Structure 1
Amino acid sequence: MSKHVYCRHHTEMDVPFFDVDAMHIVWHGHYVKYLEVARCDFLAAIGYDYNEMGRQGYGWPVVKMDLKYIRPARFGQKIRVELAVVEIESCLRIEYLIADSVTGEKLTRASTTQAAVAVESGEMQFQTPQSWLAAVARHPSFQNL
């Protein structure tokens, strides 16, 4: 059975020099940053960035992350970070594919899970806030169940 995808989004960027080692290969820890850049771009697209989350009374820490490196990204390479939102009701779970923008060659697969936490009480929410669900539904590619 395939996963339901609520929406898809993508971001393109160039690999900067300060992200690479002496062999011009991206250091493995920087891939986490690329996921965050893509996630922030998606959140801005739905009008629910981290500032808005705070105004709504919630923090959204990453509680789980998984990365699989397939091929290295290199200095100057244009990469595309594609994301698919696969869970919105109990958490925010996103699956990612980082690929070369020109050739489409797959570089990295990843996933992140974030949980809503009430800022005032510090309690994890086991159901996502209505404000979050409404924001995701505004994305042009949103697919309801």
Structure 2
Amino acid sequence: MHIVWHGHYVKYLEDGREAFAREFGLGYHFLEQAGYGIPLVELVIDYKKAVRYGDTLAVETRYVPSATPKICFEYRIRDAASQQLVCTARTTQVFTNTQLQLQLMPPPCFTEWQQRWLPSLAPIV
């Protein structure tokens, strides 16, 4: 069909999360060093337009604050040349300890991260 397989979009979202983590210091290693994991528990993708092999994409990643102890992101993937929206998505990750037990309170390191970065994180327009 000469289009990108739908499953590859999950990797594009991961690339967006990793870029966000590098820029804002919320990477997996940061949380692992504090004794926490953040497994993915929800993934929703809304496909808008097919992507063809060779297209260059731009992934916009936005942190979405939550009143509960989880990390939520929203994404927009666009064709880099035309700026056409090809998909929107959202992911949710929860906190676990080293025994993979769900944490009902946010880790102190995450609370500190929110206090530092939340005021400066602008939403996707």
| Shorter-chain TM band | 0.7 to 0.9
- Tell which has more relative contact order, 1 or 2 (C-alpha 8 A, sep 6+): 1
- Where do 5+ consecutive residues of structure 1 fail to align? 1-22
Aligned to 2:6: 28
CA RMSD of superposed structures (Å): 1.9
- Where do 5+ consecutive residues of structure 2 fail to align? none
Please state how far the C-alpha of 1:139 moved relative to its aligned partner: 7.0
Aligned residues: 120
- Aligned pairs (5 A) from 1:106-145: 106-119=85-98, 121-136=99-114, 137-138=116-117, 141-142=120-121
Q: Cα deviation per residue 1:48-82 (whole Å; 9 max; x = unaligned)?
A: 31122110100000001111111111112111111
CA distance in 2, matches of 1:122, 1:26: 34
Stretch moving more, 61-70 or 78-87: 78-87
Which amino acid is 1:33 matched to?
K
- Aligned pairs (5 A) from 1:69-80: 69-80=47-58
Please state how far the C-alpha of 1:133 moved relative to its aligned partner: 3.0
Q: Secondary structure at the match of 1:58?
A: coil
* TM-score normalised to structure 2 length: 0.85
CA distance in 1, matches of 2:19, 2:66: 17
Please state how far the C-alpha of 1:140 moved relative to its aligned partner: 8.2
% identical equivalent positions:
34
* TM-score normalised to structure 1 length: 0.74
Call closer, same or farther: CA 1:115–1:100 in 2, change over 3 Å: same
Call closer, same or farther: CA 1:139–1:86 in 2, change over 3 Å: closer
Structure with the larger strand share: 1
Q: Secondary structure at the match of 2:120?
A: coil
Please state how far the C-alpha of 1:29 moved relative to its aligned partner: 0.4
Call closer, same or farther: CA 1:134–1:89 in 2, change over 3 Å: farther
CA distance in 1, matches of 2:67, 2:19: 21
Q: Secondary structure at the match of 1:118?
A: coil
